[in-house]
Amino acid sequence: MQKPLQQLKEFNLAFGGYRQDSPTMDIPAEIKSLRIKLMREELAEVETAIANNNLLNLSKELSDLLYVLLGTVEAFGLSTKFPALFSEVHRSNMSKLDDNGKAIIREDGKFLKSKNYTKPDLEKVLTKNAT
């Protein structure tokens, strides 16, 4: 995860893209709107690639979606925290397993929470070593 984040920083510095160095929601409204618009556009392209059963195009569009997503991470100043945020969400998701280490799966394939589930403590991650 660190290398893609470094690559996005390199891109934003080279192109003058909007980025923050520390976590914040205090960014211009037009940047917030742009980030949402770009993510929606890329997701639509992923949907098209899947509908067209085109693996090559899907590979490109998923990469583009991740690129835009990580650009949004940069825009909100979450780059230095993002690996830890992702790890905490992973820890939480793994707690969905039942007492026997088995997944509880709904008919449509969604993984459900067991009684062992614990929410991710993202506030702890965001405030750790905060300046």
Query: What would the pLDDT profile of 15-74 be if each residue is shown by its tens digit?
Result: 999 999 999 999 999 999 999 999 999 999 999 999 999 999 999 999 999 999 999 999
Predicted confidence (pLDDT) at residue 1 exceeds the cutoff of 90: no
pLDDT tens profile 68-121: 999 999 999 999 999 999 999 999 999 999 999 999 999 999 999 999 999 999
Identify the DSSP state of 18.
-
pTM score of the predicted model: 0.90
Domains of the chain listed by start with CATH number? 1-79 (1.10.3420.10), 83-127 (no CATH)
> Which residues in 108-129 are b (16+ Cβ under 10 Å) and which e?
eeeeeeeeeeeebeeeebeeee
Residue with tokens 């709904």: 106
User: SS3 sequence, the chain?
Assistant: CHHHHHHHHHHHHHHCCCCCCCCCCCCCHHHHHHHHHHHHHHHHHHHHHHHCCCHHHHHHHHHHHHHHHHHHHHHCCCCCCHHHHHHHHHHHHHCCCCCCCCCEECCCCCEECCCCCCCCCHHHHHHCCCC
